[in-house]
Amino acid sequence: MDNGCAILPARILFVLPMEGISIIFILVLVALCAAAIAVFNRLIRARNACDNARGGVDANLMKRHDLIPNLIRLVKAYAEHEQETLRVVTRARADAIASLGTQVSPASEAQLSQALKLLEVRIEAYPELKASEHFDRLSRTLTEIEEQISASRRALNAHVMVNNNLVQQFPSHLIARAAGFRPRDYFSAQGIGRLTPESNGTTGRD
């Protein structure tokens, strides 16, 4: 009887630590799951923010694309000898529209800007065109769109940086890799260029 009583407390002392370890293990597991869910949700928010910001960039680029035909028609009315330059602009615009929303969009926008800069140089030879009220109004509108494009591009790149940090940094990259999240591309500034002639006093770049 005495031996049984002596063994019972020893068994109790052995069981209690094991139960405590199990509870601690469960709490740690719950904490890890909660942390993983929190990281996953942050990745989702970062990805959605990038998609939303890219949509804003594309919307502003579309505004630019939509105004270019007005510019072409106006130049045609004053500069009949610039047909080849206008064809270059038209082709560049078509390529930019076709690549909208893709990885090659910044490069296509850069080509479009170069074509428009060529047209800008040609316009210098037509003072009546530069002095027209319609051209001045169109130039101001294009300048406003350029500013909107620059602002939306900066917002996109800021969201891309947040997303890429989450995807690439430890330990969030473990969740990102397992869930299929990938780094996003920055929208290069070289894809954005001034369209308006210097006569309107706007020469800056972002």
Average pLDDT, the chain: 84
Question: For position 81, what pLDDT does the model report?
Answer: 83
> Looking at per-residue confidence, does 11 or 107 come out higher?
107
pLDDT for 25 equals: 84
User: Rounded to an integer, what distance in angstroms lies between the CA atom of residue 199 and that of residue 43?
Assistant: 46
CATH node for 41-186: 1.20.1440.20
Confidence of residue 197 (pLDDT cuts 50, 70, 90): very low
d(CA 155, CA 199): 29
Burial of 161-173, coded b for 16+ CB within 10 Å and e otherwise, reads eebbebbeeeebb
User: Average pLDDT for residues 177-182, to the nearest whole number?
Assistant: 94
Residue 190's pLDDT band, with cuts at 50, 70 and 90, is: low
Least confident of 5-9, 30-34, 90-94, 96-100: 5-9
pLDDT value at 77 more than 80: yes
Task: Provide mean pLDDT across the span 63-89.
Answer: 91
Sketch the domain layout of the chain as residue ranges.
Answer: 41-186
Average pLDDT for residues 5-11, to the nearest whole number? Answer: 50
- As a whole number, mean pLDDT of residues 147-154 equals 93
- Between 172-179 and 2-78, two packed helices, what is the crossing angle to 10 degrees? 70
- As a whole number, mean pLDDT of residues 156-183 equals 95
